[in-house]
Amino acid sequence: MQIWKLVSGMTVAAGLLLATTAQAPAQVAVEIGAQPECPYGYYEAPPYQCAPDGYYGPEWYNGGVFIGAGPWFHGGDHFYGHVDHHLDYRKGYHGSFPARGEHPAEHRAEFHGQAMHDAHGHEAPHGHR
């Protein structure tokens, strides 16, 4: 009988303890940090590595300044721009990459890409130009 009194007393105490604890509302914060400083822009998906000269077509630049990609994109809602898959590490490119903070070359590479991506790296719908 004493065991039942002890168990029931502990149950009541636990119930009172749980009932009186305040619950804080959950908060979620996502910080993306500063935009990568790359001479020719950066790839549209994490880890946002600097892209080589010639990866992005001319529509990705405004007055020679990269309009951004991924979470730092500064363009229209339905934007698609040309990219060169030959310079995409996700498609097998193993050449050199510029370092963050590096300055662009005096003479830029000629653009040869045919694919189109949105600001997050998704391919344009078939037939989109």
Question: Which range of residues forms the domain containing residue 107?
Answer: 36-129
DSSP annotation of 62:
E
Q: Taking all residues of the chain, what is their mean pLDDT, rounded to a whole number?
A: 83
What is the rounded CA–CA span in Å between residue 86 and residue 73?
23
Domain-located, residue 59: yes
> Is 22 part of a structural domain of the chain?
no
pLDDT at 74: 87
Cis peptide before 47 (omega within 30 of 0): yes
The per-residue pLDDT for range 54-97, each reduced to its tens digit, is 999 999 999 989 999 999 998 888 899 999 999 999 999 999 99
Helix (H) or strand (E) holding 117, with range, is strand 115-117
pTM of the model: 0.72
Total domains, the chain: 1
Element (H, E) at 65: strand 65-66
Does residue 122 lie within any of the structural domains? Answer: yes
Residue 78 in any domain: the answer is yes
Please answer whether residues 84 and 53 qualify as being in contact, where contact means their C-beta atoms are separated by less than 8 angstroms.
no
Say if 25 falls within a structural domain: no
Q: What tokens were used for 107?
A: 């003479």
